[in-house]
Chain A
């Protein structure tokens, strides 16, 4: 990371913040019983490159500062999260994994099953004890003990979906409160639906946003599989009920055109273009609007995802740090991960990033109490959200179903091909069972 950089305002800002954070940490570090680290040894770290330049810079600077303080040579590279899967696949195969890296829960579970990561129970426990304990859904969903003989990932942030709404339009139509059920959402959406503004900016395409439909289906009582996570149970009355809801909204033309082939940016684009009254988003749109379109930012309010007859299903997506077994410097890697969990740094990081907290004490951070509606929404998500896949079991079959977009595809059969609900459910049921059968 020693390239010539132009000293832009942003960079100066980031460095100053990192300095402040590091200084604040100075006192605390002595308290940690750090193992003696080998001076002059090297640690490579792959951080997850995120939307906020400030957060990225802060992370890199903090890692390098830690290295300088401990006499350890650090190489912190930010890896584009959109490409982590390819990058990590190749690195595992060619044995060029870094000493520590950021990754999603999905990828952590996949690789932990193959015994790729070191157990980090000591680090996990020590961080948890120092900061008021881990949030329950975070703790339960990231527990790899059964598949890897220990906890392999240290959570550092949580993302998930918030419901963004155009308050300017909705309050005029008499809706000052956010919708609490999907039915209500459709009603409010219908009330403001006036092309080229469409009420329901939800994706029905083969991307992560399209998989929000799984949560909707589950909140109607639909399930992917049984409690053992083996027999697929997509075809059910509850799923049919859910499909009726989608179909009705589709027939009323509440969805913006194109939403069956949107990419990950589709809903954001529609929202930023003023073509959608509601979208479900991680909050990045809010940040983008804040700097690019202040008017829209002011008109936007945030709430948690609505629920169905079976309550709210709003899965959290934990982000974690892990140490590959191939690391030649595991002690230093673990010390670094522990260092990166320190409150002063995390507070500064959360202020710039769009992650919810993972530890109880982090709820008191200024980042979350400072009045930022997106961060407050993310705090709320962690406190009320559900574990990934809940009420289903987050196993390999589920992850495969998720990555192959079986539920959005089922919906596409209904709205694009005009299949009747049972035929679409049959296809999804058979196809998903075939996926689950691969992991018997």
Chain B
């Protein structure tokens, strides 16, 4: 019953052909401009990672004069950046899976049922979110030390749930709300349990939303620095942002390796984005569950 997407322009009346072309041209123009603005700093990072140190400082230019891969060599050979990427992957995947699962349950509960404290729960989850990290890190490190999880990836995963759970619970509520209730009820009449209704109907229908939420959770965990800085001590447990931060050891910034690190550590995210893209578009086909 639901089409692939809101393709409004497909059925443009023939008389409006000229206007359609103009509109399409405008769309491309605006998007290209936006992409250019978005890419400027990223382009700057990328070329800086290929420059020689002297060139970075002395001859600031919009493109490199000579290309070097030495910065990447430093990153991988001297700094063991692969290990940091591995740690970050472990932490981010774990956080995303746990967080999206638990918060789907919570969000569903808060959207579909009416019970006492429902509003309160929602608010508690958000209020928790208001505490700035700069304040959280001391009590959290006390907590982790007591749980024996200091200086470990497990501890980091647990701690990252503090910011990923509120985020995903709240966003998922927004997406679940837009799933028509009738579909679910129909499914239950057809014999699905509540769980079944959630995982067979609501989740597939909100797939674009869940994909988006996964992207945010993963990215948030991937890029977190302050808590990792405080909770992780051993070199073997360092995450990617932490390893990058440790490149800056004094008041001279190692621009080359730093930017090489930024490029490398954003690659897994870019792959994730392309994959998640797929689900964001594909999500709607699942919507043709018969209702």
A touching B, CB within 8 angstroms: yes
Chain A contact residues, CB within 8 Å of chain B? 1, 3-6, 8, 10, 46, 49-51, 53, 77, 79-83, 86-87, 89-91, 93-96, 209, 264-265, 268-269, 272-274, 281-282, 284-285, 287-288, 291-293
In the bound complex, how far is the Cα of B249 from the Cα of A408, in angstroms?
24
Asked if B233 and A77 make an inter-chain contact with CB atoms under 8 angstroms apart, the answer reads yes
B236 interface contact, C-beta 8 A: yes
Query: Which single member of B77, B78, B142, B235 contacts A3 (CB below 8 Å)?
Result: B235
Q: Nearest 7 CB-CB pairs, A to B?
A: A94-B145, A51-B250, A292-B53, A90-B141, A272-B57, A94-B142, A264-B251
Contact B251 A265, beta carbon cutoff 8 Å: yes
Question: Which of B141, B226, B236 has the most A CB atoms < 10 Å from its CB?
Answer: B141
B134, closest chain A residue (CB): A86
Name which residue of chain B comes closest to A77, CB basis.
B233
Digitize B39-71: 1 where CB-to-A-CB distance is under 8 Å, 0 elsewhere.
Answer: 000000000000001100110100000000000
Shortest Cβ gap from B284 to chain A (Å) = 46
Q: In the complex, A4 Cα to B138 Cα: how many Å? A: 32
Q: 8 Å CB contacts to A: which residues of B110-161?
A: 137-139, 141-142, 144-146, 150
Inter-chain CA distance A50–B226, complex, in Å, is 20
Give Cα distance in the complex from A93 to B140, angstroms: 10
The residue of chain B having its C-beta at the shortest distance from the C-beta of A3 within the complex is B236
Instruction: Show 6 residue pairs from A and B whose CB-CB distance is below 8 angstroms, ordered by the A residue.
Output: A6-B78, A80-B249, A94-B141, A96-B150, A265-B251, A268-B251
Q: Are B248 and A6 in contact (CB under 8 A)?
A: no
Q: Hey, which bits of chain B sit against chain A, CB under 8 A? A: 53-54, 57-58, 60, 77-78, 80, 83, 137-139, 141-142, 144-146, 150, 226, 229-231, 233-236, 245-246, 248-253
Contact check, A293 vs B53: say whether CB atoms are below 8 A apart. yes
Identity of the chain A residue whose Cβ is nearest the Cβ of B234 in the assembled complex: A77
CB distance from A281 to the nearest CB of B (A): 7
How many Cβ-Cβ contacts under 8 Å join chain A to chain B?
101
| Chain A proximity of B142: nearest CB distance (Å) | 4
- CB neighbours (8 Å) of A95 from chain B are 145
Q: What's the dominant secondary structure at chain B's contact region?
A: helix
7 further A-B contacts with Cβ under 8 Å, apart from A95-B145, A293-B53, are A77-B235, A90-B141, A93-B138, A265-B251, A272-B57, A285-B252, A288-B252
Flag if B77 contacts A284 (CB, 8 Å): no
Q: A94 to B250, alpha carbons, bound, how many Å?
A: 27
Partner of A96, one of B141, B250, B253: B141
Q: Are B77 and A86 in contact (CB under 8 A)?
A: no
Alpha-carbon distance between A422 and B233 when the two chains are bound, in angstroms = 48
Cα A287 to Cα B246 in complex, Å, equals: 18
Please, which residue of chain A has its CB at the minimum distance from the CB of B83?
A3
Is the pair A269, B234 in contact by a Cβ cutoff of 8 Å?
no
Q: What's the Cα separation between A90 and B248 when bound, in Å? A: 21
Known: A96-B150, A293-B57, A293-B58. A83 touches B251 (CB 8 A): no
CB of A82 within 8 A of CB of B248, answer yes
What residues of A have a CB within 8 angstroms of the CB of B250 in the complex? 50-51, 81, 282, 284
> Smallest CB–CB gap between A30 and chain B, Å?
33
- Quick check: A86 and B137 within 8 Å, CB to CB? yes
Chain B residues contacting A209 (CB-CB under 8 Å) are 251
In the complex, the answer to whether A83 meets B54 with C-beta atoms within 8 Å is no
* A93 surroundings in chain B (CB, below 8 A): 138-139, 141-142
A8-B230 Cα distance, complex, nearest whole Å: 29
Q: Known: A293-B57, A293-B58. Is A91-B246 also a contact (CB below 8 A)?
A: no
Known contacts A83-B245, A268-B251, A269-B253; decide if A6 and B57 are in contact (CB<8 Å): no
Known: A268-B251, A284-B250. A10 touches B78 (CB 8 A): yes
With the chains together, A50 CA to B245 CA distance in Å?
Answer: 13
Measured between alpha carbons, how far is A95 from B145 in the docked complex, in Å?
8
CB contacts (< 8 Å) of B249 on chain A: these are 49-51, 80-82
> In the complex, what distance in Å separates the CA atom of A190 from the CA atom of B14?
71
A96→B150 CA distance, assembly (Å): 9
Task: Please give, as numbers and ranges, the residues of chain A lying within 8 Å of B233 by CB-CB distance.
Answer: 46, 77, 79, 87
- Contact B80–A6 (Cβ < 8 Å): yes
**Are B78 and A273 in contact, CB atoms less than 8 angstroms apart?**
no
B54 contacts across to A, CB distance below 8 A: 292-293
Residues of A within 8 A of B78 (CB): 6, 8, 10, 53
Residue pair B77, A90 in contact (C-beta under 8 Å): no
